[in-house]
Amino acid sequence: MSFFVEVASTRSQMPRVKAGKMKRGLRNEVSPVVQPRSTSAKVSVPDSSATGNEYRALRRKYLLLEEESFTVGKKLREVEDEVKELEEEKLALLDQLVVLEGLIDPSELEPQL
């Protein structure tokens, strides 16, 4: 029975704090820790000339890649056009072969546009 009395007396000695007040207290404790980090980050920023050189190098690389992409896209369109022409030529030759072998009558072929 004395155990319960000790626990009850200990609880009564503890200050009562609502959950919201406790959270606000923790927020106030955490924010000063965060603030020094932001000021120390400013110290580690490289000088503007190094950043400018890096930016120009990356920009130059980007422009070269963009130009290469344009060239590759142009070549791809040319190859696609050539493939389309070859497929049309293949179909025309296949039509001629079918007619020459007598498998279908030439009048059955659809007229070419």
pTM of the model: 0.45
Tell me, what's the pLDDT at 46?
56
CB-CB contact of 99 with 109 (8 Å): yes
The DSSP-derived string for 41-96 is HHHTSPPHHHHHHHHHHHHHHHHHHHHHHHHHHHHHHHHHHHHHHHHHHHHHHHHH
Kindly give the confidence (pLDDT) of every residue in the chain, 113 residues in length, as a single tens digit, with 9 standing for 90 and above. Answer: 444 555 445 555 555 555 554 445 444 444 444 454 545 445 555 567 889 899 999 999 999 999 999 999 999 999 999 999 999 999 999 999 998 888 888 787 776 55
Tell me, what's the pLDDT at 34?
47
Tokens at 24, concatenated: 């606000």
Tokens at 22, concatenated: 């406790």
